[in-house]
Amino acid sequence: MRIALAAAAFVMAASCSEGGRPGAEASSMEIRPPAVAGSFYPADGAVLSSLVDSLVDAADPPAIPAGTIVAGVAPHAGYVFSAPTAALLYRCLRGRRYDTVYVIAPAHTAPVLGFSVYDGGPFLTPLGAVEVDTAAARRLARAHPSCSRGGPEHAGEHAVEVQLPFLQSVLEPGWRLVPVLAGSTDPNSVRLLAELLYAESAHAAILVIASSDLSHYPPEALARASDSVTMTAWSTLPMEGFLDATSQARLPRGVETFACGRVPMAVVLAYSELFGNAERTVLGMASSADAGGDPEAVVGYASAVVTADPAAARAPLSAETRLALCRIVEENLAAAATRSSRPPLPAAEGDLGLLRGVFVTYTEGGLLRGCIGTIRPVYPVGAATAMMAWSAALEDPRFPAISAGELGSIEYEISVLTPLELMEDPLSVRLGTDGLYIVRGGSSGVLLPQVPGEVGWTTPEQFLEGLCEKAGLPPGSWADGATIYRFQAEVFGPAQAAP
């Protein structure tokens, strides 16, 4: 919402800072100057610093669950209206350390199809320069087919910028920024973006912030009702449920949108779901009417936080979970081989609810007899194992369906995958550790980490050429315009599942 604060000329802080670190010099790359200093927030560095500190000091968020703050939601209107609500999130973040902060915001000034990732020079605010993590930004743009390297749409956009003085003020120094603008997209693209961020979080401490206001311009009572729907959906539903509950078709008459940053909020939801143990907390809600705005045409605001235990999310599956997955394979294999009714999918409870990619492989006499999987973590691991166990028994086009007479001689293993991660140097693949997925044009193929050992490949080149063959691509395609991702897998059968 564009409502001006008292105008003030832009004045540089006495010393620039990298992520708020006093004394750091700005990058030699072209600087992105502030677009809304003096309108959305004070242009004088000292005044802005004092204002942000006082807002954060005064914020009184509710208690949040223990754990790491991995994501949040904050509004992006003029500070006089939305900053007290935003400060609830930033009070929770005060003193925390991150390597990279992804601020995902709606595009207001230019149309964006998919996502636009800024990978240029530092963002300047009256508090100093915020360095951009250009390497992370470019990985994201290369890895996601609906991400582009940003252009002029970032120049005048306020929805990322207004978060930066808060971040500069509350986070420990040393963090860098990845600005992402979201436009028209679909749930699959939202999930893929979240998966790529989750893969990045395995190597660095990252924070994901969705920049969003809520309802636009209804009367105050209608805004509060609409905003309650939005934040209840965000805090209780899976990502697809949130998008459905806040779809254009469900808008009450008189409300322009449930949330201008609906897609960024969905990315945060999809990202949080990958941890399996994440908890979402709405910290507070308000509207422009609370700050003296017209009660007949208000904008809604909310702050929220996501906490999780990243180490526990990445821990190996327990023996109990491995045994449960083995029983799921055995039940589905027996039903498929005897042409019995398909067993119901297991409930997404406990670790069986973790979103993970899964492959199920059958062998007979040491020879492959069927292997089907899902690379991406779009299903709970229990349900994914059941679906792949059934399909590998009956639907692998390379083999006839497994019969009841073979049940005594079929062996199996389960591969539970980590999310995909872009490989910047394919020759750095680690044989026996990394699996590979290649995409080039309309062709794609995947090989699990255990394949090189099974077929006797001893060099990265052999693995990469075998991957091209699997994808139906010409030799050498891995070095000629292909996008290659890696992943790891937890591989086990009934013998390894036993405690």
Give the model confidence (pLDDT) of 279-329 as tens digits: 999 999 999 999 999 999 999 999 999 999 999 999 999 999 999 999 999
CB contact set of 344 (below 8 Å; sequence gap of 6+) = none
Residue 307 and residue 335 in one domain: no
24: pLDDT confidence band, cut at 50, 70 and 90? very low
- The CA-to-CA distance between both ends of the chain, in Å, stands at 57
**CB neighbourhood size of 156 (10 A):** 12
Residue 391 and residue 407 in one domain: yes
Domain boundary among 264, 297, 313: 313
Domain containing residue 24:
17-313
Q: Which tens digit of pLDDT belongs to each residue from 71-124?
A: 999 999 999 999 999 999 999 999 999 999 999 999 999 989 999 999 999 999
CB-count exposure of residue 9 (10 Å: 0-12, 13-18, 19+): exposed
Looking at the 3D structure of the chain, how many domains does it have?
Answer: 2
- Domain presence at residue 259: yes
Residue 233 and residue 347 in one domain: no
Q: Is the pTM value of this prediction over 0.75?
A: yes
Residue 305 and residue 323 in one domain: no
Residue 335 and residue 212 in one domain: no
- Domain presence at residue 11: no
- Domain presence at residue 53: yes
Quick check: helix, strand or coil at residue 1?
Answer: coil
Residue 59 and residue 96 in one domain: yes
> Is the predicted pLDDT of residue 35 greater than 80, yes or no?
yes
**Cα separations (Å) of 109 from 64, 105, 261, 402?**
35, 12, 14, 57
> Is the predicted pLDDT of residue 13 greater than 50, yes or no?
no
Give the per-residue pLDDT at 2. 26
- Domain presence at residue 12: no
- Domain presence at residue 21: yes
Q: What is the CATH number of the domain that holds 213?
A: 3.40.830.10
Residue 68 and residue 200 in one domain: yes
- Domain presence at residue 8: no
Residue 292 and residue 372 in one domain: no
Give the per-residue pLDDT at 57. 98
Q: What is the CATH number of the domain that holds 475?
A: 3.30.700.20
Percent of the chain with pLDDT over 90: 92
Residue 131 and residue 247 in one domain: yes
